[in-house]
Amino acid sequence: MDGPLICLAGFGLVVALLLLRVPIAVSLGVVGLGGLALLLSPEAAVIKAGVVTFTTISHYELGTLPLFLFMAHILFSAGVSTRLFDVAARFVGHKPGGLALASIAGCAAFGTVSGSSLATAATMGLVALPEMKKAGYDPRLSTGSLAAGGTLGVLIPPSGALIVYGVIAEQSIGKLFTAAIFPGLSQAALYLVVVWLICRLNPSLGPVQPRRPWRERLAALGGIADIMALVLFVLAGIVIGWFTPTEAAAIGCIGALVIAAARRKLAIAMLRNAVAETLRTAGMLYLVIIGALIFSAFVSATDFASLISSWVEAIPGGKFGAILLMVVVLLVLGMFLDGMGIMLLMTPIFLPIIQQYGLSPIWFGIFLVRTIEMGFLTPPVGMNVYVIHGIAPDIPVSTIFRGVVPFYLADLVHLAMLIVLPAITLWLPSVVGG
Amino acid sequence: MKRPGEGIGGVLLATGGIGLLGAMLTDAIAVVGRHVGVPFTGSIELVQAFIVLGASSAIAYASLGATHAAVDLVFHRMPLSAQHLAHRLAALLGFLFVAALLAGSAWIAWEYRDAGERTELLGIELKWLRLFWLACALIAAAAMLAPLFARKPPADSASPGEGH
């Protein structure tokens, strides 16, 4: 059997193992090791595993991941989640669909802390869903806006997915964060437009709430000013170049501890819980990255990427044809597989093609994460939909999927914008350097 | 989900916490030092050492808690006996994977045992970091193997799609 065929068999085996609920890290790692043992030698596979492991756990830039997770968990303990929605609701709650608008704004703000789609959907869902239910919102609008809004957590920096992509694609995490700012903001803006349009066509779907006086709005804003100032400082520091992403995460942790102390939430039990949650998530992600890097080494050894490249060259439409094909593959895979798994599986295949067409790997990172995000909304897996269903079990999953449809259409428009206008992604890093 | 907070879990929590807080403080001091004109020479090496401590502890801690991300698409639609079998397969493959990482790491550590591997600026001996990782990998491998001997799969094992 030749290399590319072994690689195809490897892909099939990974998918089969994933469907049998073998952890993502294990599926990628075991198949990668088996493939390397077959193509090179068992000895070479084991040594490769050792090299990849220690390189990964001592990787300076990858240290960004646990530190940003730590910052997020400290801030969660300081009560950041409930306040973000509350502030947005006081500002726009009196508009048609105002609480849905506030949910999306809250998700975007929460995304600057969390970096996770599921965490954003779950946290904002817990806070915003009861409020929208009480206000008589249509369940399709309330759940759809929260499930879609949750996906903002993946793209808006700091993003765990972008950190992982940066490591496996050997790209600057600072540049990726900088590049993600406008795509994240434009995605949030499109979601807001969707809610506005829905409620303009049928205002009864999102009834208006009493207008809050400015005194109350500003008081609420004051309650999150410290957190927003910290987040802006950390992101601005990366964009301007005051510090590296790893240093930014460290500064963010210190700031989060100061905020927690100022709010009288800093205690041994809280710190212990934040460390435990950070270790739990970071450990899972480290093992996934190690598995993916081993799998990536296997794919490289098969020379599969060059075979795919020659196929892609034959596709009509040049680079747009190739990108369209990638979109289709990613969206289809997104229906069945976890986003991180897809990214780790497909990056070694797609990235060389992107580079062959002279496209930017930074742009590709944003495109990849943005496309994969959409898998959080599509059946049958649609993780965000199930997260929201878990919070509101009385609302059928089919209702939530229907509520997501307008946002999914907005996602397609947004994706087309990112493809046709790469400047949305690349302009800011080209100006500030990242 | 099991929440390992006592025994080995407690030790990992402590070492992981030291790693996180150490990396955080070192980097923060380095940033402040650089901006006030007192550079912290070798701060990156120190941060890397703390990151090894944190990352190694994290992998073992996550393995003890059985929180590695998995895809939950068809598992619950399978018959119970098939679920049990798939659960054991996952445990066996998980053990083999981490055991391979452990073996490869041990092999390299053995090869470098007399090389006096040190960082360039601060001279931190890498063998202690490698040994710490090996100990954590051993814990992770054992934790991966444990479900193989469980009578039935835990109801909430491996939360799906936690990657994002």
pLDDT-derived band at A1 (thresholds 50, 70, 90) equals low
Q: Mean pLDDT across chain B, nearest whole number? A: 86
Test B73 with A381 for CB contact under 8 angstroms: yes
Does the global pTM surpass 0.90? Answer: no
Please compute the mean of the pLDDT values over residues B38-63 and round it to a whole number. Answer: 95
User: Which residue among A57, A63, A340 places its CB closest to the CB of B47?
Assistant: A63
Residues 99-158 of B with CB under 8 A from A: 100-101, 103-108, 129-130, 133, 137, 158
**Of A26 and A380, which is predicted with more confidence?**
A26
User: Cis peptide leading into A380, omega within 30 of 0?
Assistant: yes
Test B96 with A30 for CB contact under 8 angstroms: yes
Please compute the mean of the pLDDT values over residues A248-260 and round it to a whole number. Answer: 94
Tokens 């929440």 found at: B3
Q: How far apart are CA A275 and CA A273, in angstroms?
A: 5
Nearest Cα to Cα of residue A291 among A15, A20, A21, A32: A32
Look at residue B164 and tell me whether its pLDDT is greater than 60. no
Q: What is the pLDDT of residues A43-54, one digit of tens each?
A: 999 999 999 999
Test A30 with B97 for CB contact under 8 angstroms: yes
Test B62 with A254 for CB contact under 8 angstroms: no
User: Cis peptide leading into A158, omega within 30 of 0?
Assistant: yes
* DSSP code at position A63: G
Interface test with A, best of B67, B71, B98 (most A CBs within 10 A): B71
3-state secondary structure of B70: strand
**A287 vs B contacts (CB less than 8 Å):** 59, 62-63, 68, 98
Q: What pLDDT does residue B163 have?
A: 39
CA-nearest residue to A24 within chain B is B70
Please compute the mean of the pLDDT values over residues B44-55 and round it to a whole number. Answer: 96
Q: Is the dihedral of CA A350, A352, A353, A355 positive or negative?
A: positive
Q: Cα-flanking dihedrals φ and ψ of residue B98, to 5°?
A: -65, -35
Q: How far apart are CA A338 and CA A288, in angstroms?
A: 12
**Of B58 and A339, which is predicted with more confidence?**
B58
Q: What is the pLDDT of residues A112-164, one digit of tens each?
A: 887 778 888 888 898 899 889 999 999 999 999 999 999 998 899 988 899 98
CA A111 to chain B, closest CA, distance in angstroms equals 12
Tokens 């990668």 found at: A32
Q: How far apart are CA A250 and CA B24, in angstroms?
A: 4
Q: What is the pLDDT of residues A93-119, one digit of tens each?
A: 899 999 999 999 999 988 888 777 888
Interface test with A, best of B3, B24, B32, B76 (most A CBs within 10 A): B24
* DSSP code at position A213: P
The C-alpha angle with vertex A393 and arms to A389 and A397, in degrees rounded to 5, equals 45
pLDDT-derived band at A316 (thresholds 50, 70, 90) equals confident
Q: How far apart are CA B78 and CA A236, in angstroms?
A: 49
The C-alpha angle with vertex B44 and arms to B42 and B46, in degrees rounded to 5, equals 75
What is the value of ipTM here, to two decimals?
Answer: 0.90
Q: Mean pLDDT across chain A, nearest whole number? A: 90
pLDDT-derived band at B108 (thresholds 50, 70, 90) equals very high
Q: What pLDDT does residue B124 have?
A: 94
Look at residue B151 and tell me whether its pLDDT is greater than 50. yes
Please compute the mean of the pLDDT values over residues A412-427 and round it to a whole number. Answer: 96
Q: What is the 3-state secondary structure (H, E, C) of A230-277?
A: HHHHHHHHHHHCCCCHHHHHHHHHHHHHHHHHHCCCCCHHHHHHHHHH
Q: How far apart are CA A372 and CA B152, in angstroms?
A: 34
CA-nearest residue to A287 within chain B is B59
Q: Which residues contact A46 (CB under 8 A, 6 or more apart)?
A: A33, B100, B103, B104, B107
**B3 vs A contacts (CB less than 8 Å):** 276
pLDDT-derived band at B1 (thresholds 50, 70, 90) equals very low
Look at residue B145 and tell me whether its pLDDT is greater than 60. yes
